[in-house]
Amino acid sequence: MVGTHVEGGEDPKFIARRLVISAAEDIGMANPNALLLANQCFEAIKMVGWPEGRIILSQTTIYLATSPKSNASYLAIKKAQELVRQTGNLPVPLHLRNAPTKLMKELGYGKEYKYSHDYPENFVEQDFMPDEIKNARLYLPQNNAQENKIAERLKKWWKRKYNH
């Protein structure tokens, strides 16, 4: 269709999809709003079309290009996948399992579960990972304003995991 491609011949939706990937992979937690904006860019390109879509692509590209960067989320999912490959399918800890039947309750499902909202600041330290990997640190915040706040929160909440 004439007039639906940028000057270089690329489909604007392809460019918008690449912006969504960049927002998640390259910017990540340094600016979580980048993913929201990139996703809305993709939706807007589909809705508005070309040539007006060029303005949306321009604004989003500039926003992403000038945003702080972090690939910590990307690295975390890679670590998680590798951990699963190494350890296999480990069982969910008993205290996190739902106990809809009497037998499951008798087996200890849900026993000693701590509901975070019943604790100060809506947080309570408890293990969510199987015992074999409970000390694994998959997400390591990088040095930027947003992730520095996250790092402080993790150190406050998960003292034994994030204070070394």
Confidence of residue 1 (pLDDT cuts 50, 70, 90): very low
Q: Which of 137, 140, 17, 136 is nearest to 70 (CA)?
A: 140
CA distances from 33 to 23, 88, 139, 159 (A): 9, 34, 19, 28
Task: Give the start-to-end residue ranges of the domains of the chain.
Answer: 12-65, 90-162
Q: What is the residue-wise DSSP string for 82-143? A: HHHHHH-SPPPPGGGS---SHHHHHTTTTTT---GGGSGGG------S-GGGTT-------S
SS3 57: helix
Q: Which CATH architecture has domain 90-162?
A: Orthogonal Bundle (1.10)
Percentage of the residues of the chain whose pLDDT score is greater than 90: 80
Distance CA 87, CA 81 (A): 10
Confidence of residue 164 (pLDDT cuts 50, 70, 90): low
pTM of the model: 0.81
**How high is the pLDDT of residue 9?**
82
Across the chain, mean pLDDT equals 92
- pLDDT tens-digit profile of 25-44? 999 999 999 999 999 999 99
